[in-house]
Each structure stands twice: as structure tokens, then as C-alpha cells.
Amino acid sequence: MKIFSSEQLYEADKITTEKQQITSEELMERAGTQIFQWLHQRLQGAPVPIHIFCGIGDNGGDGLVVGRLLIEQGYNVIVYVVNCSDKRSENFLHNYDKIKNVTKKWPILMTSEDDFPEINPEEIIVDAIFGIGLNRCPDGWVKELIQYINKRKAFKLAIDIPSGLYSNSPLEDKEAVLSANHTLTFQAPKLSFFLPETAPFVSNFDVLDIGLDLEFLHKSEPLAHLISKPEAQRFYQPREKFGHKGTYGHALLVAGSYGKIGAAVLSTKAAFRIGAGLVTAFVPKCGYPILQTAIPEAMVITDKNEEYISSIEVDFEPSAIGVGMGLGKNKATVEALKKLFTNTESPFVIDADALNNISKNKELLKLLPKNSVLTPHPGELKGLIGIWKNDYDKIEKVKKFSSKHEVVVIIKGAYTLTVYGDKLYLNSSGNPGMATAGSGDALTGVITGLLSQGYDPLLASVFGVYIHGRAGDIAAGQMGYEALMAGDIIEFLADAYIDLFNNTKNDEPYEK
């Protein structure tokens, strides 16, 4: 699914009314009707009070449509106009007139804190104050209203976007954003729904198709691509009937140090489970019996050093190399990495301590092999690009880093971001159960295993991140968040592959 800027959505709005020969009031009616249907389906006529806070722009207009349709169905609705300006949009005025035709309880005009209503915990709040037209930070009594609403225990449903949040620019004042329990957004999700600083205001969201012009949306270059099952299905490369283990490559995992051999075990196993033909683990001597016992399918080559890696030598040309997990920061390890980066043609996945070592040794940064996949979590990313002002600044800095070094950068976390030059991909799978030691090691094994099977670096990254998250979701569905361990993600890669083409099952992650 594509994620568009607010400018693109306004353009789509305009083109749609022209091409479909409808008025913008008709388009608003479509949008408001969808919100109404969502609510009606769930409330089934329940007499619970519904407080609808409408701004004076088109988001407020949507709120008025919803209010009218609910009143017509006999719901107990209280509509407020948040009078933050004397201006009114045309669509607002049109629907303001229409709501007066269906009720004697006219909208309540709010002009100060004195007008804040009593709202009980079991009631419902609909937020239609500001939509994607927000052009400055809410202040004064409007900000106080947002804070007042946030303190109410009632269920809060935001129309299009929680008021006070910009769709694709940074947060200015987190005290001036409505914290929704659910957001119903039109046509496409907004970028701010996925970024760590702004996503918490959105909570859960649904996308409502309001029939904006498909041709325009199809040909427009989006801000980002959201990766879910349909996209992952397209990325999948089927196994060949006459394929043999050589067809699917020989992956090499360079990982582990004394006390952290588990990182090598996890990444090696994940490379097998994702489908690499052959997998070799390169570990310090102390890792030999562990690897051979834990994964009999794997080949093992050891360093001459007992406890850490000091010189990486293998007697084959790996199809892909995953390096860094549990490696440590020993001087000799840094030297070994320099040689590895200089002398090897294979595609790389670079993770964990390999990234930390690169951050500390600029010489190593210069040797970064082109087309490598880097998999930092936010802590490791800071070492690579420095600190960032906000999520948008972070994305810009990563884009620059990616272009300069010609590498794919995966920023791990909830909604993992994959950046390749100017391109941005957001992952929809995964859950907080995956915030557990070793789940990143599993991801490195997955991407290395995909590279080894011939996926190109960007595809291996985007597909690998999705399938790793999906395995985590299926695992969490069976064992819950807390009990989930990295090894479970690897075991459930099998189910994630099977699930990829199972269109009958619900694709929604476990209770996200």
C-alpha cells in the first residue's frame, strides 16, 4: 500500500471530483458515510452518548456528516463546533445547514474553556477538530480542549488523523495532540502513523476506501510503501522443481564470541529456515561444539582464537555473508573485518557489533562494501549517522547515508523502516513480543539466507523484514508476547511461509 503526502491527497481529491463528476460535498458525504457505517456496525443502535467535536474546516465537515447520519439512525449525539477561527470551509457550511434539518439540538458553539462538556467514561468521543489541513500547532483554549479530551476515559475515535498531528511533518508540541484509541483514515494511511514519536497518538487505525481516483494514486510516487501480505506475495521467489542445494546458495554467518555463541546459533538456524542451501558458521574456537550440537545441518569453521574472531578465512566463495552478531569489539576483530570487507565480493548483511565497530573506526566505514544491507537498531543507528532532531530528520539522514555509501539501511523497531537511497519501505508485521534478545540475530540470518538464494539486497531486506515479523506475529498468536523468544521466531518462519499464500486467514497481527 502506498503512503501519500497531504498535498498528494488534496490533489487526488481534486482529480477525483473532476473525473467522477461529483461535487466535493458528495465526496465528503462518501467519507462521512464510511465513518458512520463503521460506528453503526459496532454500536448497533446503542443509546450511548456520542460527543462529536468538529473544527471549522473539512475535517469538521466530516464530523457534521457523521453526526447527521447518526442522528437520523436515532443515536444520542451531541455536536460541538470548535470555533478556533471565524472562517468556515464551504463543505463545513453546507453540512452545518444540513444537520440543522435533522435535529432541534443544534451544534454547540465552543469558544473557551468554559464550554468544555462533562463526558463520562462509557461515552464516545469523535475527534473531527483538525485533519490533514492542520497548518500550525494548536494553542490557547483549543490546545486545552485537546488536553481535556485526552484526560477523559471515554473511547476516542479520530477522523482521518488525530487532531494536532501533521500527516507528514514533525511533531511540534506533543501536549497539543489528541491521543486517539482508534483512527479511521481516508484512502491511505499517513506517514506519521508509523513513526516512533507520532504513532502512539494513532493507536489502531483502519483505512477507509473513499474511491479517490485510482489512476492518479497508481502513477503517483508515494512518500513510502507499506509492506503487507500482498506486497510480500509479489516479492516471493518460488523454489525450482529441479533445484538442488547449490541452487540456493552457501551462506556464511560470521558471529559470536565467548559468552555470545548463541548469536551465531540463532542466525545460522534462521538462514537455514528461510531456505539457504548450505550454511557455514564462522565462530571462535569455543563455539565449535555448541554449533555442531545445536545445528547438525550446519558446517562450522573456527577462528584460530579461542574466544573471539581475529582472522576470517574460509575455503569457499559465500553466496552471502551475515556478519556482526555477538562479535565483540576486540582490536583483532576490527582488523579481521577490514580484511573481510576488502577481500570479499559476496553480498553482505552487516549487523550489531560489526556496525558498532564501523561507527568507531571511520577507516572501516570507508571500506563498507557497496550494496550491503545494514541492520541497525536505533542505538546502533546513532553511531552511524549521529543524533537526529526528530523522526523525519532521522529518515533524511539515513537517506543521505544510504545514497552516499550505496547501501540498504534497515532501521529496526516497531514498523521497521527500510531505506534505499530516496526510497522508503515500512513494515506492517511484527509485535512487541519480538522485543527480546536475539530477534535481530534471527533477522540477519533471514536476510543473509535470502541473499544467498539470489534475492537482490533491497528485496531480501523488505521481504525478509516482513516474513520475520510475520513469523513473530504467528508465534505470538500461539504463545503470547511475553513468552516469545527469538528461537520461536525462527521456528515459526515455516508458518510464515505457508501463511504467505493463505488468503483465507486473517492477516491482522495478533492483537496489535
Ligand X SMILES: NC(=O)C1=CN([C@@H]2O[C@H](COP(=O)(O)OP(=O)(O)OC[C@H]3O[C@@H](n4cnc5c(N)ncnc54)[C@H](OP(=O)(O)O)[C@@H]3O)[C@@H](O)[C@H]2O)[C@@H](O)CC1
Ligand Y SMILES: Nc1ncnc2c1ncn2[C@@H]1O[C@H](COP(=O)(O)OP(=O)(O)O)[C@@H](O)[C@H]1O
Binding footprint of ligand Y on the chain (CB under 6 A):
352, 377, 412-414, 416, 430-432, 434-435, 437-441, 443
Q: How far is the CB of 394 from ligand X (least distance, A)?
A: 25
> Binding to ligand X by residue 27, rule CB under 6 A?
yes
Burial class (CB in 10 A: 0-12, 13-18, 19+), 188: buried
Which C-beta is closer to ligand Y: that of 413 or that of 477? 413
Q: Which of 228, 208, 166, 210 is nearest to 191 (CA)?
A: 166
> Binding to ligand X by residue 23, rule CB under 6 A?
no
Residue whose C-alpha cell reads 503517483 in the numeric block: 220
CA atoms of 75 and 136, how far apart (whole Å): 34
Site for K ion in 158-177 (CB under 5 A): 158-159, 163
Q: Is 99 annotated as a binding residue?
A: no
Q: How far is the CB of 7 from K ion (least distance, A)?
A: 18
Using the rule CB under 5 A, give the single segment among 91-99, 120-128, 169-177, 332-340 that binds K ion: 120-128
Q: Is 32 annotated as a binding residue?
A: no
Q: Which of 269, 247, 234, 182 is nearest to 452 (CA)?
A: 247
Q: Do the bridges between strand 408-411 and strand 417-420 make them parallel or antiparallel, or are there none, so unpaired?
A: antiparallel
Total residue length of the chain: 512
Which C-beta is closer to ligand X: that of 137 or that of 199? 137
Q: Which of 362, 243, 373 is nearest to 321 (CA)?
A: 373
Which C-beta is closer to ligand Y: that of 300 or that of 476? 476
Residue 44, phi-psi category: left (phi > 0), alpha (psi -120 to 50), beta (remainder): left
Is the Cβ–Cβ distance between 476 and 510 less than 8 Å? yes
Residue 31, phi-psi category: left (phi > 0), alpha (psi -120 to 50), beta (remainder): alpha
> Which option in ligand X, ligand Y, K ion, none does residue 10 bind, with CB closer than 5 to 8 A by kind?
ligand X
Q: Which of 49, 117, 133, 421 binds ligand X (CB under 6 A)?
A: 133
Q: Is 262 annotated as a binding residue?
A: no
Q: Which of 302, 309, 304 is nearest to 330 (CA)?
A: 309
At a CB cut-off of 8 Å and minimum separation 6, what does 194 contact? 3, 224, 226, 415, 417, 426
> Binding to K ion by residue 127, rule CB under 5 A?
yes
Q: How far is the CB of 128 from ligand X (least distance, A)?
A: 7
Q: How far is the CB of 466 from ligand Y (least distance, A)?
A: 11
Which C-beta is closer to ligand Y: that of 107 or that of 433? 433
Is the Cβ–Cβ distance between 235 and 219 less than 8 Å? no
Q: Which of 21, 41, 44, 135 binds ligand X (CB under 6 A)?
A: 135
CA atoms of 362 and 338, how far apart (whole Å): 11
> Which option in ligand Y, ligand X, K ion, none does residue 464 bind, with CB closer than 5 to 8 A by kind?
none
Contact pattern for ligand X over residues 59 through 98, marking x by CB under 6 A = xx-x---------------------xx-x-x---------
Which C-beta is closer to K ion: that of 159 or that of 489? 159
> Binding to ligand X by residue 189, rule CB under 6 A?
no
Q: Is 61 annotated as a binding residue?
A: yes
Q: Do the bridges between strand 50-54 and strand 77-82 make them parallel or antiparallel, or are there none, so unpaired?
A: parallel
CA atoms of 419 and 416, how far apart (whole Å): 10
Q: How far is the CB of 489 from ligand Y (least distance, A)?
A: 8
Q: Which of 333, 334, 272 is nearest to 307 (CA)?
A: 333
CA atoms of 55 and 139, how far apart (whole Å): 14
Q: Is 391 annotated as a binding residue?
A: no
> Which option in K ion, ligand X, ligand Y, none does residue 31 bind, with CB closer than 5 to 8 A by kind?
ligand X
CA atoms of 163 and 140, how far apart (whole Å): 15
Q: Is 483 annotated as a binding residue?
A: no
Q: How far is the CB of 127 from K ion (least distance, A)?
A: 5
Binding footprint of K ion on the chain (CB under 5 A): 127, 158-159, 163
Binding site for ligand X (CB under 6 A): 9-10, 12-13, 27-28, 31, 55-60, 62, 84-85, 87, 89, 130-138, 142, 159-160, 186-187, 210, 212
